[in-house]
Amino acid sequence: MASPGAVGPTNLTVQQPDQRRDLAPVPQESGYGSYGSTAAEGRELSLSLLWRIAVEWRWLILAAIGTSIAAAVLITLLTPLKYRSTASLELNPPEVEIMTDEGSKGGRQSSARNDTNFVGTQLALLGSRALAERVAQNLNLAAEPAIVGENTDRTANTATAASFVQGGTQVRLQPQSMIVRVSFVARDPQIAAKIVNGVTDAYIATNLERRYQSSSYARDFLQRQIATTRRDLERSERQLTTYAQQQRLISTGSSEDGGDTNSLTGSSLVSLNTALAATQARRIAAEQKYREAALGGATTEGSANAAPLRAQIAALDAEYQQKRQTFRPDYPEMVALKARIDALRASVVTETRTANSDRIGTLRQDFQAARAEEDRLRAQVSGLSGTVLDQRGRLIQYNILKRDVDTNRTLYDALLQRYKEIGVAGGIGTAVASVVDRGLVPGGAFSPNLYLNLMIGAALGLVIGMLAAIALEFINDTIKSPDDIRDKLQLPFLGGIPTAKSAKPIEELRDTLSPLAEAYLSTASAMQFVTEGGAPKTLLVTSTRPAEGKSTSAWALAYSFTRLGKSVLLIDADMRRPAFVTGRENVGLSHILTNTGSLSEHVLQTDIDALWVMPSGIIPPSPPELIASARFAALLADASATFDVVVIDGPPILGLADSPLLSSIVQATLMVIESGRTRTRAAIEAQNRMRTAGAHMVGAILTRYQPQASYGYGYGYGYGQNKDQYRYVADGNEKKRRIMLTMHDEP
């Protein structure tokens, strides 16, 4: 390293822009445009994010769980005891009576067991207001002071009791069954059992009454129709009887054909006609026999006396024929035998004629008698036929009246039969529901349940705590983790700096084995890989806002570079609120920029080997003008040529022009972000300002990465009455918050 004392004003040169182009590439798309997408991606809920939120806000979640558990215990203690009595009912879908026509087969059919409409209807009836009112009346709950109080209004008490019954009744259908569980909740176990049994009894009674009354309209209608039809039948029967008496019509049969034979005259005509037909047949037979006898002459059947003669003739004729073979016909014996045969034949003829004459006379008498009887009957039939024809005209009106009687009788019988069927179908029959288990007096209260309330309280507290933590996490949109730097800011993460364990971080940094020193050393080691030539020659350390650990980080990085064997110059470029105090006047950045002094005159060596510091000097009236001057660029070029690394502690970015001007001159810029306090939008806005000025952002470090008790560095900033007017001034405790350095008298 060249001695700072050998450096003079004549050796100062202005750094060219291309001297800073050997930096590693850094994404340039971060800004408000990219923040909308990257931040949204970083804010998506995931298991890792939820776990991080739960760990970070664990005390809030535990407090919410504890509060919920305490509230659950308090609610359990304050909640009055409640008793539940349960009864079981079995639903029986009613059988439907099928009314059929005559000749078809009817019967009773049961409805489907899984009829959801039936089940839903019964459940609704169990919880209905009408059933509750009936229970209140049956159990006389209006007189229970524990239910209705001391009110004496009976109507109001009944309504209150019905509301009490309806509000405490719970109905639940057992899955895959027709069993319904009816429960009632009350503060008195006796009342709970009493009311639940009253509900089941009233429900069954109501259903029976409803089933009986369901056919009342049909029965009333049929009763009216039957009465009307009975009157019509009686009137039509009286009219029929009166007309038959007037017309002297007598019905002799029960046939329904409506013919003439139903009357007495018709019956007589039928009888006479039958007798006439028989007599006519008998006359025809007698006439035939008479004519045969009259025309046939002698017959072999004429008389019974001729039979012996015929036998003798046959014998003699046989003898004659036998002798003829021997004798000739003129033989005397043959002639005598022939004469004897002829005499016998003459006797047979005489006897036959006598017998036929008597028989013909008898047949004539029979024939004449039959013809006389036929004539008589035919005359009677002719007379009755006229009477029947005359009666037929009078039977027309009779049949009309008789059909009216038959119609009314049939209608009356049908209505009476239907009335009987409806009476049977509308009977009591099987009840819609039956009691399986009656409600018993509960032995203990079911509510409040301490264990259940504790579980609910713990779960509710966990949910509320997690929701509150998530809400606070998203409301408090700050940079908290390395992932936030990578995802939201699109910057490389160069190191996470834990919170200092002591109130003097500089002394803790001197302990090379402390976590704080190790973290900064790791960051300095990572800085050696951001350029092709190693660590950047000029490094600006800045932050979004004050009190983020910027100055401490600048000193710690400079010290870490010395541990890596480099000569380092630390420049306090925060000429508004300087952080490094040397105790010397007229030495510092503001003096060298406003005078002609050399670098060696304003560089002081610390008690750490290879670490030099240039204080800010006296606070100038306009720091940005000094930074933007060519003098500062020449000074920076001279310092980078003299020292291995130049670390510049710059002021915060937002509201000030100093850091953007510094970032346009140095080779690299490092952002210091305080974990959990720096807003994402503020960090992105600061980054956009730096990149707009041409800064090369090499990355960011996260300070106070392990949350502990934090402390400030003496910076305060705020807004005046004009919101656009930014103040960045030293506060009253600046001497206590400045970093005190031990300097050698001479460099």
For every residue of 593-604, DSSP letters joined together read HHS---GGGG-E
- pLDDT by residue (tens digit) across 281-294? 877 877 777 777 66
CB distance 509 to 520 below 8 Å: yes
Listed range (52-66, 184-198, 486-500, 715-729) with the worst mean pLDDT: 715-729
Q: What's the mean pLDDT in 146-165?
A: 85
Give the pLDDT band (50/70/90) at residue 408.
Answer: confident
More confident residue, 735 or 184: 184
CB distance 177 to 89 below 8 Å: no
pLDDT at 391 (0 to 100): 64
Model confidence at 87: pLDDT above 90: yes
Model confidence at 618: pLDDT above 90: no
Give the pLDDT band (50/70/90) at residue 216.
Answer: low
pLDDT at 6 (0 to 100): 34
Q: What's the mean pLDDT in 307-331?
A: 79
Listed range (76-80, 175-179, 499-503) with the worst mean pLDDT: 499-503
Q: Distance (Å, rounded) from C-alpha 442 to C-alpha 4? A: 97
pLDDT at 263 (0 to 100): 59
Considering the entire predicted model, what is its pTM?
0.47
Give the pLDDT band (50/70/90) at residue 644.
Answer: very high
Give the pLDDT band (50/70/90) at residue 620.
Answer: confident
Model confidence at 67: pLDDT above 60: yes
The answer on 643 and 613 residing in a single domain is yes
Give the contacts of 651 (CB within 8 A, at least 6 positions apart).
542, 573, 574, 575, 576, 577, 623, 658, 659, 728
Model confidence at 540: pLDDT above 90: yes
The answer on 327 and 245 residing in a single domain is yes
Total length of the chain: 747
**Residue in the structure block whose two tokens are 């900033």:** 717
Give the contacts of 170 (CB within 8 A, at least 6 positions apart).
182, 183, 184, 185
Nearest residue to 178 (alpha-carbon basis) of 88, 86, 90? 90
Residue 745 lies in a domain: no
Residue 159 lies in a domain: yes
Q: Which domain holds residue 640?
A: 483-709+728-740
Q: What's the mean pLDDT in 346-359?
A: 71
Give the pLDDT band (50/70/90) at residue 70.
Answer: very high
Residue 38 lies in a domain: no
DSSP 355-396: HHHHHHHHHHHHHHHHHHHHHHHHHHHHHHHHHHHHHHHHHH
Total domain count, the chain: 4
Q: What's the mean pLDDT in 237-263?
A: 62
- Omega before 448 within 30 of 0, i.e. cis: yes
Give the pLDDT band (50/70/90) at residue 279.
Answer: confident
More confident residue, 335 or 635: 635
pLDDT at 649 (0 to 100): 92
pLDDT at 733 (0 to 100): 46
Model confidence at 730: pLDDT above 60: no
pLDDT at 708 (0 to 100): 39
CATH number for the domain harbouring residue 671? 3.40.50.300
- pLDDT by residue (tens digit) across 190-207? 999 999 999 999 998 888
The answer on 468 and 592 residing in a single domain is no
Q: What's the mean pLDDT in 74-84?
A: 89
Give the pLDDT band (50/70/90) at residue 14.
Answer: very low
738: left (phi over 0), alpha (psi -120 to 50) or beta: beta
Give the pLDDT band (50/70/90) at residue 389.
Answer: low
Pick the most confident of 379-383, 508-512, 685-689, 710-714: 685-689
Q: What's the mean pLDDT in 326-344?
A: 80
* Percent share of the chain, pLDDT over 70: 76
Joined together, the tokens standing for residue 633 give 């660029």
The answer on 334 and 363 residing in a single domain is yes
More confident residue, 365 or 356: 365
Model confidence at 66: pLDDT above 90: yes
Give the pLDDT band (50/70/90) at residue 304.
Answer: low
The answer on 468 and 512 residing in a single domain is no
Model confidence at 106: pLDDT above 80: no
Residue 29 lies in a domain: no
The answer on 487 and 463 residing in a single domain is no
pLDDT at 557 (0 to 100): 92
pLDDT at 172 (0 to 100): 92
The answer on 146 and 62 residing in a single domain is no
Query: What own/partner pairs with CB < 8 Å and gap ≥ 24 does 252-257 have?
Result: 256/406
Give the pLDDT band (50/70/90) at residue 412.
Answer: confident
Instruction: Give phi and psi for 349, each to the nearest 5.
Output: -65, -40
- pLDDT by residue (tens digit) across 23-38? 333 333 333 334 444 4
- pLDDT by residue (tens digit) across 481-521? 888 888 888 899 988 888 877 777 778 888 888 888 888 88
H or E element that contains 702: strand 697-703
The answer on 489 and 418 residing in a single domain is no
More confident residue, 111 or 216: 216
Instruction: Give phi and psi for 46, each to the nearest 5.
Output: -145, 170
Give the pLDDT band (50/70/90) at residue 656.
Answer: confident
Model confidence at 225: pLDDT above 60: yes
Residue 32 lies in a domain: no
Model confidence at 463: pLDDT above 90: yes
pLDDT at 43 (0 to 100): 54
pLDDT at 707 (0 to 100): 44
Strand, coil or helix: 344: helix
Q: What's the mean pLDDT in 43-52?
A: 75
Mean per-residue pLDDT of the chain? 76
Model confidence at 427: pLDDT above 70: no
CB distance 639 to 564 below 8 Å: no
The answer on 633 and 570 residing in a single domain is yes
Instruction: Taking each helix axis as running N to C, give the angle between helix 129-138 and helix 154-168, from 0 to 180 degrees, rounded to the nearest 10.
Output: 120
The answer on 361 and 455 residing in a single domain is no
The answer on 511 and 459 residing in a single domain is no
pLDDT at 8 (0 to 100): 32
Joined together, the tokens standing for residue 530 give 């951001």
Q: What's the mean pLDDT in 297-322?
A: 69
Residue 300 lies in a domain: yes
169 bridge partner residues = 184
H or E element that contains 581: strand 580-581
H or E element that contains 671: strand 668-674
Q: What's the mean pLDDT in 578-582?
A: 81
Residue 4 lies in a domain: no
Model confidence at 570: pLDDT above 90: yes
Residue 372 lies in a domain: yes
More confident residue, 108 or 88: 88
CATH number for the domain harbouring residue 150? 3.30.70.1130
The answer on 401 and 346 residing in a single domain is yes
